[in-house]
Amino acid sequence: MELGGGCWLEIEKAEREKRRELVLQGPTIDAKIKDSGGLSMRVYDLSLLNYLEVSHCPSLRILQPELGKLLHLQSLILCRNGLVELPTTVGALRSLKVLDVSGNDLEIIPDELSQLAELNTLNVSCNKLQVLPGTLAGCLKLATLNCSHNRLTDIPQELFSPQLDLLSSIEATENEITELSADVCNLVALKVLDLSKNKITEIPAELAECPKLKEINFRDNKLKDKRLEKMVNGCQTKSVLEYLRVGGRGKGKGKQELNDKDEGKDKKKKMDRRQRKRDPQSEDAKDDLEELNKMVVRVLNVSESFSTLTVQVTTAVKDVRPYIVCCIIKGMNLKPGNALKRFLVAQTKLHDEICERRTAATIATHDLSLIKGPLTYDGRPPKTLKITPLGRKETNAANLVRQLQFEAEEQRKLKKRQNVSGLHKYLNLLDGKENFPCVIDAEGHVISFPPITNSDKTKLTKSTKEIFVEVTSSKSLQVCKDIMDAVILKMAELNKFTFDQKEEVTLEMENEGSCPELEASPQQESDNSPELIVQQVRVVDAQGNLKVVYPSKTDLNLENTILTVLR
């Protein structure tokens, strides 16, 4: 059959209606690509397009050079396909602002990308890249670069050029990068830098000179400076930058006095309030300090719990979204400052990354005190599934999906056909489903409608003390478990960060004489530790037979030296 031949009604419709946006994704499109031997050549004749998405099509291995004919294209989304190369004619797309080729089999990206003068966002994550072309420095409007989950050994020196004065985010986690250039200080707009899970041994002091840097991640590297490594593993961005700024331990002329002062201050912050009068060199004090540097998760088994929450799975979800894993988290402090906001932002980031934009799995979190157990994981027709979505009034799932589709269309028009955001980008995951998955409590209230939304009635607030967490997937039970592991690790990191911030403020108040020594209340005592308790939740079938309990002895076995799991 001729390459790209066959009947493509989606393309014919776009051509007939002179559309400026075309989305081709999923099994139906993949089957057409497989049968036709590639993408239909007619797509390259849609000269009015400014948004083109071809995604979730593993049979798509190449794009034809005619791609360069789409001169008005502003967004090109080619994620989760089977692409092994990009045509060099991609450089002709001079209006392109967003290029997403994540989740493919690319080993190189063409130098011609340097010709994309308007390019703002480049996502090449989850490929097989060994190098990034230094010519990317020619993309002077580049603001966001994601090259995570590849095989890179370095970031090209050219990408630290002062000319890239809009580059604000670099994500390069899970590569084989051994060194970060001191020229990183040239990136005056840099706000986020993620180089976790690489092979970096030193962090250049010049990093502290980036004026807008707010978030850094160097976890799971092999840093030579062990004190710095502890700060990094504790996600203490401010402390890391300050440490680099004063030269670190034993570095910098005339800085030793500052280092000694900083080190003494660190110990004072971390030691237990009742132990501060101890000799700071004693073995007990050192043990306490070491313990406080760790993140602790304690597992509470079902048999140890006074009230056991179970989730029963019906057969109605078998063909929709059959896998679910749940647990209860106690000890998460969401009260101080932006703690709740940080947690919700982290959950969104997990959805975009490890959950692969909810295609692999969906995370839902609820205030446990607002849930009546036992729970049921069921599949229901869209018109009978009623829910009060986050920030909305009660409606049925059919109406909600229609409303979101309408909003998505309006959003595209408003943003000149750019990619949609929020809940709207997950609607395609429900295409062709007769029943929609949902979690229902004992009173018949739908508390969760994955992968779209949770119920507004069970949403987290600053006063939430216990959190019910669910992870659902259409792929496998192991995917659910792996993502739940990642969720708990992230919660432990955030709780440790909140605890450290609170301790720092408390110490400052004490030093100023504005914090009298009073006996702590029970609630204050519970806030005086970053330790999390994870309570097991059983998932059973319709007959009450156990399907899964999380966390089991084989779960949460993370290769992370700063996370201690007590079982």
Shared domain for 255 and 308, answered yes or no, is no
Q: Minimal CA–CA distance to 14: which of 398, 427, 417, 426? A: 417
User: What is residue 119's predicted lDDT score, i.e. its pLDDT?
Assistant: 96
Contact call for residues 213 and 207 (beta carbons, < 8 A)? yes
Question: Token pair for residue 430?
Answer: 């429900």
Q: Which helix (H) or strand (E) holds 506?
A: helix 477-511
The answer to whether position 15 is within a domain reads: yes
Q: CA 291, CA 496: separation in Å to the nearest integer?
A: 12
- Strand pairing category for 121-123 and 144-146: parallel
Shared domain for 322 and 189, answered yes or no, is no
> Helical H runs in 22-174?
27-36
The domain of 543 spans 298-381+458-503+525-566
Question: Token pair for residue 252?
Answer: 């910098």
Q: CA 452, CA 405: separation in Å to the nearest integer?
A: 12
Contact call for residues 120 and 139 (beta carbons, < 8 A)? no
- Tell me: cis bond preceding 451? Omega within 30 of 0 counts: yes
Shared domain for 331 and 191, answered yes or no, is no
Q: CA 29, CA 22: separation in Å to the nearest integer?
A: 12
CATH number of the domain enclosing 130 = 3.80.10.10
Q: By three-state DSSP, how is residue 155 classified? A: coil
User: pLDDT tens digits for 40-83?
Assistant: 999 999 999 999 999 999 999 999 999 999 999 999 999 999 99
The answer to whether position 225 is within a domain reads: yes
Q: CA 381, CA 436: separation in Å to the nearest integer?
A: 6
Contact call for residues 42 and 16 (beta carbons, < 8 A)? no
Q: CA 492, CA 466: separation in Å to the nearest integer?
A: 14
The answer to whether position 389 is within a domain reads: no
Q: Any idea which residue has 């997990």 for tokens?
A: 350
Structural Rg of the chain based on CA atoms: 26
Shared domain for 261 and 304, answered yes or no, is no
The answer to whether position 290 is within a domain reads: no
Shared domain for 183 and 112, answered yes or no, is yes
The CB density around residue 18, as the number of other CB atoms within 10 Å, is: 10
Answer with the one of 247, 265, 283 that is the final residue of a domain.
265
Shared domain for 302 and 241, answered yes or no, is no
The CB density around residue 387, as the number of other CB atoms within 10 Å, is: 25
Calculate the CA dihedral of residues 498, 499, 504, 505 and round it to 10 degrees: 70
For residue 165, count CB atoms less than 10 angstroms from its CB and return exposed for 0-12, middle for 13-18, buried for 19 or more.
middle
Mean per-residue pLDDT of the chain:
83
- Strand pairing category for 532-540 and 192-194: unpaired
Instruction: Quote the longest CA-to-CA distance of the chain.
Output: 82
Shared domain for 338 and 261, answered yes or no, is no
Shared domain for 335 and 186, answered yes or no, is no
- Strand pairing category for 362-367 and 395-396: unpaired
How many structural domains are present in the chain? 2
Provide the residue type at 216 as one letter: I
Q: How far apart are the first and last CA of the chain?
A: 60
**Phi and psi, residue 317, nearest 5°:** -95, 0
Question: Token pair for residue 560?
Answer: 């992370």
> Helical H runs in 175-282?
226-233, 237-245, 256-270
DSSP 63-81: --GGGGG-TT--EEE--SB
How far is Cα of residue 208 from the mean position of the Cα atoms in its chain?
Answer: 25
DSSP 443-489: TS-EEEETTTEEBGGG---TT--EEEEEEEESS-HHHHHHHHHHHHH
Q: Minimal CA–CA distance to 33: which of 71, 4, 10? A: 4
Shared domain for 100 and 174, answered yes or no, is yes
Answer with the one of 213, 242, 265 that is the final residue of a domain.
265
- The pTM of the whole model exceeds 0.85: no
The answer to whether position 439 is within a domain reads: no
User: What is residue 296's predicted lDDT score, i.e. its pLDDT?
Assistant: 81
Contact call for residues 379 and 435 (beta carbons, < 8 A)? yes
The full length of the chain comes to: 567
Shared domain for 211 and 119, answered yes or no, is yes
Shared domain for 114 and 226, answered yes or no, is yes
pLDDT tens string, the chain, 567 residues long: the values are 344 445 788 899 989 989 899 999 888 899 999 998 899 999 999 999 999 999 999 999 999 999 999 999 999 999 999 999 999 999 999 999 999 999 999 999 999 999 999 999 999 999 999 999 989 999 999 999 999 999 999 999 999 999 999 999 999 999 999 999 999 999 999 999 999 999 999 999 999 999 999 889 999 998 998 888 888 877 678 888 888 887 764 343 333 444 444 444 444 444 444 444 344 444 444 444 444 456 788 888 766 554 578 999 999 999 889 999 999 999 999 998 889 999 999 999 998 888 888 888 999 999 999 999 899 999 999 999 999 998 899 999 999 988 888 887 777 777 655 554 455 566 677 777 889 999 999 999 999 999 999 999 999 999 999 999 999 998 899 999 999 999 999 999 898 888 877 655 554 555 555 444 434 444 444 455 788 999 999 999 988 899 999 998 888 887 655 677 886
Q: Any idea which residue has 């504005």 for tokens?
A: 514
Contact call for residues 351 and 358 (beta carbons, < 8 A)? yes
> In the chain, what are the helix, strand and coil shares in percent, each to the nearest 5?
35, 20, 45
Q: CA 449, CA 386: separation in Å to the nearest integer?
A: 9
Shared domain for 238 and 302, answered yes or no, is no
Answer with the one of 217, 246, 265 that is the final residue of a domain.
265
Q: Minimal CA–CA distance to 74: which of 20, 111, 37? A: 20
